[in-house]
Chain A
């Protein structure tokens, strides 16, 4: 095709927004229509997004489908969108999750259906934008736009007990982090502007600049890195910034938890790969011990907390803390395997934890409880449910043949290449992970049906199965044939690794330490 090219990225980003605006013109009591329109809009967005991997140049590390329009030239802001191997699968994941979010709310959401779908679609636009924006101002706008709908989703449709608390806690934590990141962005903007003479928020331009670094905590690059870190670490969430997560997850409606786990947490890890690593490579290397410590803490702490949870949803929320610790550990191995595994594991975690939240939601719709004690022996009553739960659980604990295995394996290889100790801790996390998941499954699914009222529970209907099937297909696809996924991200990841290797020379350059200097001086005086 020559001449006019479709602004594909703009379409997949703003189509949901257009759908949201369309919803405003539908009467609020036509709930069926509202649901169908939302499903069609998200479905079409998914179909269009499929064109992205199909026409993506797998051999290129550069950004593709780039669109560029001037927006606020006075301060150097442009509308720039682009996609590379790192963001490609996250965009596809977002596109896949959204129709599922609509589907899983079909019967669960009966109040204020119009606003609910409006917020879902609005959030869809924000999430797409975060992964596609290549201008810091634009990125920040999308980053914040995601918060507002999520706040309302938790606050209005959440579990009545503590939804207000959870909603404001989520909003406050993430907003605080974001605004600190904004200061980091501004610092980069002014520094690069002074260096190059043109002030711009264009991320590609800002990446070309190298920012001053020295092995002191207070050097420019380290401080900016920390500003970004705060925002991303809260979003991931990394230990000890994770406390908003269990509350938000537990109180959110199923679709909210699904999106939160599948996409919103990835915004944090994506931020690290996209910005912190390639823009501030020296600072990244400087903070490796710090990051790895936090990640290992998260892996083990998250898993231990899971073991004592009474509430199934809270358990899965804490398992996210542990799994995201894994993603961070792989990332900060800072080598090919670790990074690839980390990015793949982002997608995997999105798929499998998303599916787990769906599974909790399905049972909650039936028994109106999330307590493990209220379940037990359900697989005899609901065999389809039990089967899908089992597959998802195996995906989550990384059984070979399913997606989780590939990601965890790569992360372990990456970590092992740096230090066998890291790999050891990571493996213990996997073992604990298998323990709490299997135990959860055993307590809820196996054995006799302990509660009389659970005996007549209906199994999943077609719509409910359809919410899980796409995810299950993806489990197997990534698990059995991960090559296309890894191949697409390889050049982009290679570029990041190369940049880090360059930085390593700077960081590990033999600088005389104060002690050495003294020693040398003493020698000289002798």
Chain B
């Protein structure tokens, strides 16, 4: 019953409450016992894993036949399969980032406790986005996430680029939040509702040719476009990726992008299915632009973080193909791709961190030179990530792309798929250049890798995910397919 409040409803948000509490404890520890680095690390990992357990526990009844989604707090908070799916992706990403950070933070001189606390807060924000049942919950989740990330980007206080990244991201982020709010207010003005279902219900009854509605749609597209870096709203992204501490970049590339996609799906599919015709055309163009510009510019990069930044722009372009294709097939392809993308991109960034030591910054493509001869296992892991990013079997990236393409073909978007095919060939060129440097370049004297165990574990986990989902995708595809039900009519 909307409008009633039941104290037990809080239990539905137990995973978020739990993770936020852990974050607070870490924050307290960071000034109460700043020397206890190990505690904070263990606590953060434990918090993420514990939240995962709680989520799975909540998910089991949902994924049973007949399990129905729960909506609490007057419909502003939803617990459905879609939310669970994205939350698991966020947690996987957060876990990988924490593992990468454990020895990286002391190396670059970042205060540990605050970092983990803010990272976890950001994750909580993402989880709220995934569960958002109305525009305000979603917006608050988005801001919680973004503001935390602005801080994380600037954690290298003495580093000019890090400062630049933080400021640029803050300004752009604030601007895009404003644009989103403007879109929200227009929608509210037109429909008098904030909940996605109510908005959709009202839109079914009113005149859809109202220009204000179109304006609202464009505003929301632009706002979310900034958040997930759709061309032409992507300009800030490479600078931010380059300047931010690499672990944060990984977090941005994986978790924050996934959260942006979740928000996009919730708002456009949940609230505006009636004007799908309009935004499909818009996103068709944006998808083509995003993947093409992302890939073409990536070819020219020397810095691997910038290259991966453009590559992540390109991948958002691929994701949009599934969004444009729509229907259950298209949206489940988006979900599946987001999961796959998390593993391979996190893995690639973990490799960049692996290369960073006290003497070498390791963020140029040349820094990978000779890795294939000196550190064959590390190089092999990187090759797997690169092949997966290109979309070559038997990696997860292939299955993801395959699934996206099949959704697009089945919906009849042959031209868009052809553009994606050409882009795949372009992307091969720059991904393989890294492989080429690793295997065909000469290693500098005394090339050393980080000896961090947790980092190695992160790489191993990412390899496992990339190959595992690539060879046995059945289970994951099924979960992704199941997770779109409820979101789509």
Contacts and interface: CB of A to CB of B under 8 A. Distances in A.
A182 B402 contact: yes
B410 interface: yes
B116 interface: no
Given A141-B394, A144-B393, 8 more contacts: A72-B473, A73-B474, A74-B477, A164-B440, A176-B422, A183-B418, A186-B405, A186-B406
Contacts of B425: 172, 175-176, 179
5 contacts: A72-B477, A148-B387, A175-B424, A183-B405, A183-B414
B426 to A, nearest CB: 9
B439 A155 contact: yes
A81 to B, nearest CB: 16
A155 B436 contact: yes
Contact of A186 (B409, B424, B432): B409
B376 A115 contact: yes
Contacts of B405: 182-183, 186
B428 interface: yes
Contacts of A163: 440
B341 interface: no
B410 A74 contact: no
Nearest to A181: B421
A180 B440 contact: no
A140 B406 CA distance: 14
B440 A189 contact: no
Contacts of A384: none
A175 B392 CA distance: 9
A71 interface: yes
B369 to A, nearest CB: 13
Contacts of A394: none
A144 B392 contact: yes
Interface in A86-105: none
B453 interface: no
Interface in B15-43: none
A147 B432 CA distance: 12
Given A74-B477, A151-B432, A186-B409, A176 B421 contact: yes
A190 B478 CA distance: 19
A75 to B, nearest CB: 7
A72 B403 CA distance: 12
A145 interface: yes
Contact of A72 (B398, B421, B439, B474): B474
Contacts of A151: 432
B380 to A, nearest CB: 9
A171 B406 contact: no
Interface in B368-389: 372-373, 376, 387
A172 to B, nearest CB: 6
Contacts of A74: 474, 477-478, 481
A172 B428 contact: yes
B389 to A, nearest CB: 13
B44 to A, nearest CB: 34
A449 interface: no
B366 to A, nearest CB: 15
Nearest to A189: B406
A183 B421 contact: yes
Contacts of B392: 144, 147-148, 175
A156 interface: yes
B284 interface: no
Contact of A75 (B414, B440, B477): B477
A151 B393 CA distance: 15
A147 B392 CA distance: 9
B312 interface: no
A417 interface: no
Contacts of B409: 183, 186-187, 190
A28 B372 CA distance: 13
A176 B418 CA distance: 10
B417 interface: yes
A75 B403 contact: yes
B429 interface: yes
A112 B373 contact: yes
Interface in A123-157: 137, 140-141, 144-145, 147-148, 151-152, 155-156
Contacts of A156: 439-440
A155 B473 CA distance: 31
A37 interface: no
A104 to B, nearest CB: 22
Interface of A: 28, 71-75, 112, 115, 137, 140-141, 144-145, 147-148, 151-152, 155-156, 163-164, 167-168, 171-172, 175-176, 179-180, 182-183, 186-187, 189-190
A1 B61 CA distance: 49
B474 A140 contact: no
6 tightest CB-CB pairs across the interface, nearest first?
Answer: A141-B393, A186-B409, A176-B425, A179-B421, A72-B474, A74-B477
B406 A164 contact: no
Interface string B253-297: 000000000000000000000000000000000000000000000
A155 B440 contact: yes
A165 to B, nearest CB: 11
A175 B436 contact: no
A176 B405 CA distance: 14
A171 B432 contact: yes
B391 to A, nearest CB: 8
B234 to A, nearest CB: 24
A348 to B, nearest CB: 31
Nearest to B420: A179
Contacts of A179: 421, 424-425
Contact of A180 (B390, B421, B439): B421
A144 B418 contact: no
Given A72-B477, A75-B403, A141-B393, A190 B429 contact: no
Contacts of A112: 373
Contacts of B473: 72
A347 B410 CA distance: 38
Interface in B308-350: none
A75 B393 contact: no
Contacts of B422: 176
B428 A175 contact: yes
Contacts of A144: 392-393, 398
B417 A183 contact: yes
Nearest to A111: B373
Interface in B416-462: 417-418, 421-422, 424-425, 428-429, 432, 435-436, 439-440
Q: Which of A167, A176, A182, A189 has the most CB of B within 10 A?
A: A182
A155 B424 CA distance: 20
A186 B406 CA distance: 6
A505 B393 CA distance: 40
Contacts of B432: 151, 168, 171
Nearest to B372: A115
Contacts of A182: 402, 405, 421
Contacts of B474: 71-74
Contacts of A140: 393
Contacts of A171: 428, 432
A163 B421 CA distance: 25
Contacts of B436: 155, 164, 167-168
Nearest to A193: B410
Nearest to B480: A74
A145 B393 CA distance: 6
Given A151-B432, A179-B425, A145 B394 contact: yes
A73 B474 CA distance: 7
B397 to A, nearest CB: 12
A470 B428 CA distance: 38
B444 to A, nearest CB: 18
Nearest to B376: A115
A135 to B, nearest CB: 13
Interface in B89-123: none
Contacts of B481: 74
Contacts of A176: 421-422, 424-425
A33 to B, nearest CB: 17
Contacts of B393: 140-141, 144-145
